[in-house]
Amino acid sequence: INYRFKKITEKSGLSIHFHALRHTFATRCVETVSYTHLDVYKRQE
């Protein structure tokens, strides 16, 4: 996956690393879970 990603980013001229996408994905997952948890908590009150 990393090899293909590197080739695609080189061809497109983007300067991004695969790890950055993994980090962004993990951050968004945590944010989504946090917001969902808060929403459920508010509804229970």
Taking the model in full, what pTM does it have? 0.44
Element (H, E) at 44: helix 18-44
Q: State the pLDDT at residue 45.
A: 53
Cα–Cα distances in angstroms (integers) from residue 13 to residues 6, 8, 9, 25, 35, in the given order: 10, 8, 6, 22, 35
Q: Please count the CA atoms within 13 angstroms of the CA of 2 that sit on its side-chain side.
A: 5
Domain residue limits, the chain: 2-44
Q: State the pLDDT at residue 44.
A: 54
List pLDDT tens digits, range 4-39.
988 999 999 988 888 887 888 888 877 777 666 655
